[in-house]
Each structure stands twice: as structure tokens, then as C-alpha cells.
Structure 1
Amino acid sequence: MEFIIVTGMSGAGKSTAINCFEDMGYYCVDNLPPMLIPNFVSLIVDKKQQYDKVVLGIDIRGGILFDDLFTSLKELKLAGYEYKIIFFDCADEELVKRYKETRRLHPLARNERIQEGIEKERAILTEVKDKSDYIIDTTHLLAKDVKDVLHDIVIEKNDFKNLMITILVFGFKYGVPIDADLVFDVRFIPNPYYIPELRPLTGNEKEIQDYVMQYEVTTTFLDKLKDMVDFLIPHYTKEGKNQLVIGIGCTGGKHRSVVLGNALYQYLKNSGNAVTVQHRDIDKDSKRGK
């Protein structure tokens, strides 16, 4: 039996993950008290139910019962059942934003500020995060991205390195992303904006891709960028970094940076990394160069 435990920070995407697993054919139970895990597993095994793929959602809503998690997991191990833990994390600032947008209360901050509840929860979950098999940081992920990552882990069986990489494509005239770990300026590449017939297009279209990639300076830069990222990823992973945001910018974030961002995304994806690409400014209209 394939047995997966989904846990993590409240608001980080556990409910989305449960829905994704259900779509993939898993039998899912959300918010089961941890102390009942051994009984639950014994029940579905003894009754010979056709549940060969099971997901349990465990979170802080269980209150003090959450302390029973490791005791229950130890019982599973002794009984011969293997399991994997997937931990969903997210930056505090993004969690606060999500709670304010949904107008929901944090389970540990009924009469306090949301931030205080998040801090309490993060402290409680430190041990389970440290013992998790996979850590998925959803700070920059959409629901479809979460589904893709889970598919890579459980269906494709890709070697997941617990480092979520986001390629953030942007335009410098709209500001440098404040959360980018690495920023690359590709404004040195010839600009297709000055070709009238190319101006309305974006880097997602072949005409722009062909224009940008025809230059040796572009291909040389891309090769060097790949080498740098290949060097950095294992070192970031070794240090326990869970989220890496790589910013790639041109003037308006519509042409050159889109081409390079997509190329780096495809390279990292083919290399087995958990990676997404976001085009922050691609649809913004301006009279200035792109």
C-alpha cells in the first residue's frame, strides 16, 4: 500500500494537495487525528478494501493531538507499513496575505494577530518539517503548479530535491522583484521591439524566439546561465534552502526575458527539478521599449 501523509503550514496548500491526490486516484482523508492513524490503517487492511493508495491530511487543527503524530508513525513502522511525508510550506508574508484575502482566522490566532499564529505554528511544526521526505514551498505556486509537482513526485517518480525553483520573468521599468534570490539583466540582447512587425508579439511566440536566439550573445549567455544554476542548485539544496527565485528581466518583460526565462525553465524541467515560470509583466501595455 502506498501511504502518504500531507501536512504543513495552514494556508500553504494542503487542501489543494488533497484535491490533486483525489484526482490522481488516491483515497484521501483530511484532518484525521494522528492518534487514530494506526487504527485507520489496520481497518482498511483488515477489511480488504481496495485502497492501495492512501493520503492522510494532518494539520494543526488537531490541536494537542498533533503531538501524537510521531508515536503513531512509529507504530506504523513497527507494523511494517512504509510512508512518505509531504510538507507544504510558504513564506510568512504570503500566508498573511492569503488569510486576509479569504478573511479566515488562523487556527492558532483566534484572538491574536495572524502573524503571531503563524509563528506559533511554525515552531510546533519544526520537527515534522525536519523529518519530511518532501518539502514543497508554495509561495510562488499556483494550484496547477502544485498538481504538476505532485504528479512529478508520485507518478513520474522524479528525484525531488526539496528545492522549489521559480523563474520570474519581469520588466525593469516595472520594478525588480523584491523576493528574487538571483537577478539577471538581459537588456544587452538585441531588442525585437524595434522591429515593427515583431513589436506586438511576445516571447512565447516563435517569431520572437527565433529573433532572440539567432544571436551568439544570447546562446552564449544561456549556456553560462545553465552552468551557473547547475552549480548553485546542489549547494542551495545542501544548505536546506527550499525556495529559489530566479529573476530574468528585460526592459518591459515581454520579449527577450520571456524567451530566456522559458528556455531556462525547460532546461531545469528536463533536468528533473521542481520548477515553474511566471511572466509577471508580459501583458502590461506601455509605449516604451519591451
Structure 2
Amino acid sequence: MKFLIISGMSGAGKTRAADVLEDMDYYCVDNMPAALLPKLAEFCMGMGGRYEKVALVTDIRDKEGVDAIFDALDGLWALGCDYEILFMEADLPTIVKRYKESRRPHPLQAEAGSLEAAVRLESRRLDRLRNNADYVINTSDLTLGMLQAEIYKRFMGDSAERTLDVTVMSFGFKYGIPLEADMVLDARFLPNPYYVDTLRSKTGLDGEVSDYVLQSPVSREFLQHIQRLIAFLLPQYVEEGKSSFTIAVGCTGGRHRSVAVAAALAEMVRTLGHSAELVNRDMEK
């Protein structure tokens, strides 16, 4: 079992890091009291492999908290739990700027008297933990995408390839554009099987309908343009830190053209190395 403890400075991105790890199939717990770490580890170790990767965020804001985390680490060692520590930090101006933008008080601000003093106090208290960390990430100059890349590199290796979970959804414009769509494609200019008596009752999943829609010259050119577009876009979205993306393809009723195009598009996405789920929202309406 992988047991990762995420700690560090307030405002440095501990929760963001946990979100990325959750996308990497870690079981994540936020705001975990340090004293409960051994109990959680014991529980996970006793679940027969159900929790293979665990990451938890714990805050240490006073001297007693620092002592508590090291007592907890002794408890993990006694259990035979192999743990690692990820320490998140950022420089003073960055932390101050983030707190001013969020308009939230620093946890130690009342004790320290000012925001800057609170950041300095917390940094001093956490120095011992930082020196014992297996990984230290400074987020001062990192975007979310850069942070995601850094975490993937450290916890999945340099060869780890990040991908998107893509949903390709067909729909009918007369029923409304899907609210979850990140990209909308309009297929209403393609040949319409609705006006072919032998095809009207079928759907875009039937071979005859799919061929009718996709084999025309304009349809082939349309698909070629889409393939070039998504081949360019998907890696850019991965770089920006997105983990999921929804492409919606619409026609008038969502039964013929959009279904055929969506099925072809889902296969394109898979050939580019990303997972693709095909959803035909309005096909049976």
C-alpha cells in the first residue's frame, strides 16, 4: 500500500495536490488530524488491498501539531506502514497574494498579528517537517497544469502519459444543447437520413444510416477537419490540467446524423490515446 502524507504551508496548494492525486486513483482524505493517521493506516492495511493508494492532507499549525505529526509517524512505523511525505510550500509574496485574493484569514493570523507574520511563523514551525519530507514542491510559479505535471512526474514516473477522459455526446438541437459540453459541433449540414424512407426508423448506430451520413464527400472532409482539431486540442487541455472533456455533436433530432458522427469521433479519440465514452442523449426520444 502507498501511504502519502500531504502537509506544508497554508495556501501552498495542499488541497490542489490531493485533487490531482485523486484523479490518479488515490483514496484522498482532507483535513486529517495527525493523531488519527495510524488508525487510518491500520484500517486501510486491513482491507485486503481495497485501498492500494492513500493520500491524506494534514495541517500543522502549532508546536503541539508538529509534535503530533512526529508521534503519528512513529505510530505508522510501528505498524509497518511504508509512508512518504509530500511537503507543499510557496514563497512569502505568493502566499500573501493568495490570501489577499481569497479574502480569507491565515490560520495563524490572530496569533501572529498580521498576515506576513503568520506566514513566517508557520514556516518556522514547519521547518522540521520539511527537512524530513520525501518530496518538496514549491508552487510559487506553478499553474494548475504545471502542478499536475509535477505530481504525475513524481508519483507515476517520467514516462507517465497523462490522458483525458473524453465523453462524446450526440444530441438534438430541438431538445437543447447539453449543459456539460466543453465543445459543440453542429452536424445539421450533413446528409439527412430522415428523408430516406428506409432509414427514417433506424438510428445512427445502424450501418446503413452511418454509411449514408459519413460516406459523402462533405462528411469525409468534415471528419478530417475534426480529427486535426482534436489531435491539436486534447494535448493542450491535458497540459492545462483538465482531466475530463465533453464534446457534444448535434443534429435536429439527435437520432441520425449526430449519432453517426459521435460514434466516429469517439473512435478517433481512442486512436489518439484517450479514453472515450459515447453517450447518445436523445437517440430514443
TM range (shorter): 0.5 to 0.7
Deviation at 1:48, TM superposition (A): 3.2
Map 1:249-264 → 2, pairs under 5 A: none
Task: Look up the SS of the partner of 1:60 in the other structure.
Answer: coil
Moved over 4 A (4+): none
* Distance of 1:3 and 1:107 partners within structure 2: 26
For residue 63 of structure 1, report the CA deviation from its aligned partner: 7.7
Change (3 A) 1:92 1:14: same
Contact kept? 1:32, 1:58, Cα under 8 Å = yes
What residue in structure 1 maps to residue 102 of structure 2?
102
- 1:57 maps to which residue? 57
The residue aligned with 1:141 is 142
Aligned position for 2:125 = 124
Separation in structure 2 between the aligned mates of residue 151 and residue 46 of structure 1, nearest angstrom: 27
Amino acid aligned to 1:101: E
Instruction: Look up the match of 2:151.
Output: 150
Q: Distance in 2 between matches of 1:15 and 1:27?
A: 13
What amino acid maps onto 2:115 in structure 1? I
May I ask how many residue pairs the two structures share in their alignment?
158
Cα distance 1:62–1:45, how it changes in 2: closer, same or farther (>3 A)?
Answer: farther
Q: Rg larger in 1 or in 2?
A: 2
* Consecutive unaligned residues in structure 2, runs of 5 or more: 160-285
Instruction: Decide whether aligned partners of structure 1 residues 62 and 23 sit closer, same or farther in structure 2, where only a CA change above 3 A counts.
Output: farther
| Larger deviation, residues 37-46 vs 132-141 | 37-46
After TM superposition, give the deviation of residue 81 of structure 1 in Å: 1.2
d(CA) in 1 for partners of 2:11 and 2:110?
15
Alpha-carbon RMSD: 1.8
Deviation track 1:213-267 (CA, whole Å, cap 9, x = no partner) reads xxxxxxxxxxxxxxxxxxxxxxxxxxxxxxxxxxxxxxxxxxxxxxxxxxxxxxx
Partner residue of 2:44? 44
After TM superposition, the structure 1 = structure 2 runs for residues 202-221 of structure 1, keeping only pairs within 5 Å, are none
User: Is 2:31 the counterpart of 1:21?
Assistant: no
Q: Normalization by structure 2: what TM-score?
A: 0.53
- 1:64 CA drift (Å): 3.4
1:133 Cα deviation from its structure 2 partner: 0.8
TM-score by length of 1: 0.52
Q: What is the aligned-residue identity percentage?
A: 35
Gaps of 5+ in 1: 159-290
Paired position in structure 1 for 2:225? none
The 5-angstrom pairing of residues 1-290 of structure 1 reads 1-48=1-48, 50-60=50-60, 64-110=64-110, 112-156=113-157
Distance 2:63 2:143 in 1: 28
Contact 2:6-2:57 within 8 A present in 1 as well: yes
Mapped to 2, the partners of 1:149 and 1:103 lie a distance apart of: 28
CA separation of 1:72 and 1:53: change in aligned 2, threshold 3 A: same
Partner in structure 1 of residue 261 of structure 2: none
Mapped to 1, the partners of 2:36 and 2:47 lie a distance apart of: 16
